[in-house]
Amino acid sequence: MTQYNSFYPAMIEAVQQTLENMVFMEVIEERGTPTDIPAAELTWSSMLINDPVQGEIRLAMPAVLLKKISGNVFGIDEEEVTTSQAYDILNELLNTIGGLFMTKLLPNQEYKIGLPSLESGKLPEADEHTVVWHLINSDEEPLKIYAGGESLLTMHTKAE
Amino acid sequence: MGKTVLIVDDSNTMRKIVSRALRQAGIDFSTILEASDGQEALDVLSANDVDVVLSDINMPNMNGLEFLKAKSEIAAIKDIPVVMISTETGADIIDEAKSYGAKGAIKKPFTPDLINETLGALL
C-alpha cells in the first residue's frame, strides 16, 4: 500500500525550506485568528498540478512583503524593485514550493506541474476542496498558501 | 585563480538567486556569466573559458537537454562539466540529462552548502 507523507505538514515544510533557502526568510504557522490581507494590498500567483492528481496551488502575500523579499534577492532597495521583478520572484517561489510539495507528497514518483501565473483581484473563496495554510514571518507579516481541487485533496484524505 | 561559472536559466530572477547562492557557497568564483537559454549558453561557452555550468532544464528556444546534446557535439566545449538545476526530480529526465553528459543535478530549493558539495567535486 502506498504511504503518503502527511499533506498538511508537507506544505509547511515546502514553504519553509523554499523561503529559507531562496530568500532567507523564516516563516512559521500563524496561531490564533489568521491575519487578513486586504484585497488592495494582496499579490498572488497560482499554478496547476496536472499529474498524477489535479489541483491548484496559490501563493498570496502583501505586495509590500513581496517587494521586501525581491529587494533582498536583487540586492537593491525595495523602492527600486520593479513590478516585473517582484512578480518573477512570486512565480519562482510558487514554482519551487509546488515542486517541493509534490516531491514530499509523492516521493520517488514523477509529477507534472504547470507554470505559475500572476493573478489579480480577490482570491477565490475557499471551499470544502481547499486547504489554506496561514503563515507569518519574524516581522509577523502574513503569507498564505492554498491547495485546491478534489483530486489533489484526495492526497489529504490518504494522509490522515 | 578564481573559477568561471555559467548560469543558464530563462528566469532573470532565478539567475540572481543562483548567483547569490554561488557567492555564499565558499568556492572562489571570479566570474559569474549568465545565459537565458541553451543557444545563448553555447555562444557564451564558445567565447569564454568556463569551468562549470549550472543549467535549468525547462527553457524556451533550446532547453537544458537540447543544450547538453548540442554541447556534446562541439569538441571545444564538450568536456566542460554541467550540473542541472530544476524542480523536476523524475529519474527519467535526470538519467536523460546524464546520458547527454550532465555531471549531476541539484534540486530547488538548493542551499549554498549543496552547491559547494556538488560543484566542489567537479572543480
Query: What is the torsional sign of CA A82, B19, B98, B39?
Result: positive
- pLDDT at position A69, please? 94
What is the model's pLDDT at position B27?
85
Contact between residue B105 and residue B84 where contact means Cβ atoms under 8 Å apart: yes
Contact between A95 and B87 under an 8 Å Cβ cutoff? The reply is: yes
How high is the pLDDT of residue A158?
60
| Closest C-alpha to A154, from A57, A58, A53 | A53
Nearest to A73 among B17, B87, B111 (CB): B17
Condensed to tens digits (0 to 9), the pLDDT of residues B43-72 reads 999 999 999 999 999 888 999 999 999 999
CATH of residue A146: 3.40.1550.10
Q: Which whole-number Å values give the CA distances from A17 to A11, A12, A113, B12, B36, in the listed order?
A: 10, 9, 19, 21, 26
**Beta bridge mates, A61:** A43
Nearest CA in chain A to B109: A18
Taking residue B86's Cβ as centre, other Cβ atoms within 10 Å add up to 20
Element (H, E) at B81: none
Identify the closest residue of chain B to A99 by CA–CA distance.
B87
Closest CB to B109: pick one of A18, A73, A74.
Answer: A18
**CA distance to partner chain B, nearest, from residue A150 (Å):** 24
Please indicate whether, in this complex, the C-beta atoms of A22 and B109 are within 8 angstroms of each other: yes
pLDDT one-digit tens code per residue, A36-80: 999 889 999 999 999 999 999 999 999 999 999 999 888 899 999
The structural domain count of chain A equals 1
User: A15 to each of A23, A60, A78, A93, A94, how far by Cα in Å?
Assistant: 11, 12, 22, 9, 9
Q: Where residue A109 falls among pLDDT bands split at 50, 70, 90?
A: confident
Cell of B47: 567565447
The whole-angstrom distance between residue A80's C-alpha and the CA centroid of its chain comes to: 25
Return the residue in A13, A20, A22 with the most chain B beta carbons within 10 A, the one to mutate for interface testing. A22
- Domain residues for the domain of A73 are 3-32+41-159
* Residue A48 near residue A56, CB atoms below 8 Å: yes
Q: What is the pLDDT of residue A160?
A: 47
pLDDT at A123: 85
- How far is the C-alpha of B105 from the C-alpha of B118, rounded, in Å? 8
B22, B89, B114: which to substitute to probe chain A, counting the most A Cβ within 10 Å? Answer: B89
Would you put residue A62 in left (φ > 0), alpha (ψ -120 to 50) or beta? beta
Distance from C-alpha of A8 to C-alpha of A131, rounded to nearest angstrom:
8
β-strands A27-29, A55-62: how paired?
Answer: unpaired
Interface with chain A: mutation pick from B10, B11, B12, B13, highest number of A CBs within 10 Å: B13
How many other C-beta atoms lie within 10 A of the C-beta of residue A15? 24
Lowest mean pLDDT across A14-23, A134-143, B104-113: B104-113
| Closest Cβ–Cβ partner in A21, A73, A108 for B109 | A21
Of A73, A75, A100, the CB nearest to B13: A73
pLDDT at B91 over 80: no
Judged by CB atoms closer than 8 Å, whether chains meet at B11 and A88 is answered as: yes
How many other C-beta atoms lie within 10 A of the C-beta of residue A158?
14
Three cell numbers, residue A130:
481547499
A135 - beta bridge partners?
Answer: A29, A143
A89 contacts B87? CB cut-off 8 A: no
Cβ atoms of residues B55 and B82 within 8 Å:
yes
Chain B positions touching A108 (Cβ under 8 A) are: 91
